């Protein structure tokens, strides 16, 4: 049986990969080496406690003596290196911990593998020809993209945070061990992961945790940072493909072409929560709050996984919506269990230490003094746990209430919202049965007028969408410069983004309406042509004079009346459905805009008078 060393197997990606890998390969024995810093949790692996092909070692990847013992004692033939410090915010506060774990730890692992697998540079020991070392890294090493383009394996490195710089350094170390020693290595760089078991500090768990506790959901800056989201099980399957089928010395980037801005993601999660756990206080999206952006925040990540798909045949299997819904349900279950415990037992400041079974064969070679990485994360972990406990107490009644509301809601039949244009479609469809040419032409003119109005509404909704977004961005930029208080900027930006949501919904609805009207218009034109042809044939048969000139005159008259009515109707719609005066006043004051002048200019533009 071949022994594979998995580092960081108690963390989010590690535990999901380890469980998947163990289930896929009965010929492997997996040794999980994890220091159990704040992001590692043996609860993630509780189902494997009695698995004979799995063993856990509590230790540090920087401990060279421990690594030497593990490689020789278990005769390690493969490594999947997932252990890392990975939170950008934490790297800004304490970059030293990231350099130690991500750079020095990777070096220690590479060197242990080199000594155990090679007799000399480019000379693998006999029987060790099939050894492999897979280094798991991040797309953040490539820096930030503009509005277009994708990361590929040929993208130059441009890390912008201590975290991404430490991972870039570890990538270069892996590359050097291939070109200098011939060590059989592979590297993967993945996009943002999501799924069960992710630490509470990450974006998606934070959104769910804050929402269910009815607390502000923090979104950095203006929320327009873009990430490519990858479901953790699809990531595990990609690592499987790379480990077994990848070309040695190569890099494979893993993504799904699934881009979302942070604000879009937050809104979407809130909409799903509104369905899965509705709350009487209103939509969870009302809790979204913008906060000051972090230093060096990359604007956009996007991955083109064509190499992985083409060479190794990997493709993401679960669509984003289904995977996200499963993820949300997992966290709802998790937070409900936590709050149930808090209800029964008052929180205590005495936190039990994690129990780790000690192996008699010295597999748990832990240093007597806590490692530097452990010391660096200890305060952060304790602060976070205390924060979560406080939130759980506050959220206790809210969560119980949510459960009852959710149960009642699930008993109701889910219905699609009524189509606001259904009555019009029904009336317009009746025009198709008209046999009189004048009445048919009148029906055609009415449908055409509705189509023109719908297209105007569509264009107006698109403009409102862009206008609300651009103003929200300007407001947040002024807040970043200190020209507007963050609290006031957040209120204005959220109101603008709610208007943007309404405009986007209007765009979607009107687009469908236009498609229906275009279909009806096409059918009505055919129907009018049929009546015209029938009338011409009848006149020819009874030798009546051709009245096509009269018909054309009627159509021209209809067109003129239709145009006048549409302009009048459009002017009235613009007058009635103007912007929220109070919100516009506040936004214009904040941006220093002359509201009357801009409103007059906008109205002239919409009426075609400028």
Cα radius of gyration (the chain): 32
What are the structure tokens assigned to 25, written together? 């390969």
Non-local CB neighbours of 106 within 8 Å, separated by 6+ positions: 61, 81, 135, 170, 173, 174
Cα separation of 138 and 85, whole Å? 12
How far apart are the two ends of the chain, measured CA to CA in Å?
A: 79
Q: Is the distance from CB of 456 to CB of 569 less than 8 angstroms? A: no
Could you confirm whether 436 is annotated as catalytic? no
Could you confirm whether 163 is annotated as catalytic? yes
Binning the chain into helix, strand and coil, the percentages to the nearest 5 are 60, 10, 30
Could you confirm whether 139 is annotated as catalytic? yes
Tell me which H or E stretch contains 260. strand 259-261
What are the structure tokens assigned to 396, written together? 């206790």
Q: Is the distance from CB of 140 to CB of 298 less than 8 angstroms? A: yes
Which of 54, 142, 163, 301 is labelled catalytic? Answer: 163
Which of 34, 60, 85, 139 is labelled catalytic? Answer: 139
Helix (H/G/I), strand (E/B), else coil: 214: coil
Cα separation of 200 and 203, whole Å? 8
Q: How many CA atoms within 13 Å lie on the side-chain side of 98?
A: 20
Angle formed by the axes of helices 105-117 and 64-74, to 10°? Answer: 40
Non-local CB neighbours of 349 within 8 Å, separated by 6+ positions: none
Q: Is the distance from CB of 169 to CB of 234 less than 8 angstroms? A: no
Non-local CB neighbours of 297 within 8 Å, separated by 6+ positions: 220, 221, 225
Which of 140, 298, 391, 465 is labelled catalytic? Answer: 140
State CA 376 to chain mean position distance: 30
Helix (H/G/I), strand (E/B), else coil: 250: coil
Q: Residue for token digits 């990430």?
A: 227
What are the structure tokens assigned to 386, written together? 């205390």
What are the structure tokens assigned to 587, written together? 């936004």
- Residues forming the active site: 139-140, 163
């Amino acid at each position: 049986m071949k022994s594979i060393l998995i580092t960081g197997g108690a963390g989010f990606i590690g535990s999901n990969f380890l469980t998947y890998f163990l289930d896929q390969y009965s010929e492997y024995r997996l040794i999980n080496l994890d220091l159990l810093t704040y992001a590692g949790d043996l609860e993630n692996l509780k189902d494997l406690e009695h698995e004979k092909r799995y063993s856990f070692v509590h230790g540090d990847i920087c401990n060279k003596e421990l690594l030497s013992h593990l490689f020789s004692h278990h005769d390690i033939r493969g490594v999947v290196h997932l252990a890392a410090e990975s939170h950008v915010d934490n790297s800004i506060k304490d970059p030293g911990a990231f350099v130690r774990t991500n750079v020095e730890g990777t070096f220690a692992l590479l060197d242990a593998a080199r000594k155990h697998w090679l007799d000399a540079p480019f000379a693998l020991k006999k029987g060790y020809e099939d050894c492999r070392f897979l280094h798991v890294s991040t797309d953040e090493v490539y820096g930030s993209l503009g509005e277009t383009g994708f990361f590929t394996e040929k993208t130059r490195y441009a890390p912008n945070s201590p975290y991404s710089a430490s991972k870039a350094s570890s990538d270069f170390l892996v590359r050097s061990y291939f070109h200098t020693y011939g060590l059989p290595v592979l590297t993967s760089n993945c996009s943002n992961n999501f799924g069960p078991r992710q630490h509470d500090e990450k974006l998606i768990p934070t959104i769910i945790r804050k929402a269910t506790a009815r607390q502000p959901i923090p979104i950095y800056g203006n929320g327009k940072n873009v990430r490519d989201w990858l479901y953790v099980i699809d990531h595990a399957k990609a690592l499987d493909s790379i480990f077994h089928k990848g070309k040695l010395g190569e890099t494979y980037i893993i993504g799904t072409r699934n881009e979302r801005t942070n604000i879009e993601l937050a809104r979407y999660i809130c909409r799903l929560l509104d369905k899965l756990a509705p709350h009487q206080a209103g939509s969870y999206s009302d809790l979204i709050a913008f906060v000051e952006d972090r230093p060096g925040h990359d604007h956009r990540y996007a991955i083109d996984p064509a190499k992985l798909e083409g060479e190794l045949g990997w493709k993401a299997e679960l669509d984003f919506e289904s995977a996200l819904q499963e993820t949300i349900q997992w966290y709802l279950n998790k937070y409900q269990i936590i709050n149930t415990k808090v209800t029964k037992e008052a929180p205590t400041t005495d936190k039990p230490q994690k129990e780790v079974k000690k192996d008699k064969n010295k597999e748990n070679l832990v240093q007597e003094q806590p490692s530097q990485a452990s010391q660096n994360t200890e305060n952060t972990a304790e602060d976070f746990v205390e924060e979560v406990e406080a939130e759980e107490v506050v959220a206790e009644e809210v969560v119980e209430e949510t459960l009852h509301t959710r149960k009642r809601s699930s008993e109701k039949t889910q219905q699609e919202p009524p189509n606001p244009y259904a009555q019009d479609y029904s009336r317009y469809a009746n025009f198709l049965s008209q046999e009189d040419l004048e009445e048919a032409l009148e029906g055609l003119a009415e449908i055409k007028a509705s189509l023109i109005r719908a297209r105007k509404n569509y264009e107006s909704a698109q403009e409102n969408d862009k206008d609300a977004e651009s103003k929200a961005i300007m407001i947040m930029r002024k807040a970043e410069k200190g020209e507007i208080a963050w609290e006031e900027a957040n209120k204005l930006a959220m109101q603008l983004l709610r208007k943007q949501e309404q405009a986007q919904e209007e765009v979607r609805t009107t687009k469908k309406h236009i498609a229906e009207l275009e279909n009806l218009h096409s059918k009505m034109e055919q129907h009018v042509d049929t009546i015209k042809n029938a009338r011409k044939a009848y006149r020819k048969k009874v030798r009546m004079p051709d009245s096509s000139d009269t018909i054309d005159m009627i159509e021209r008259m209809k067109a003129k009346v239709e145009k006048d009515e549409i302009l009048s109707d459009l002017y009235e719609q613009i007058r009635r459905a103007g912007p929220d005066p109070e919100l516009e006043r506040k936004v214009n004051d904040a941006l220093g805009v002359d509201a009357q002048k801009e409103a007059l200019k906008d109205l002239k533009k919409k009426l075609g008078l400028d």
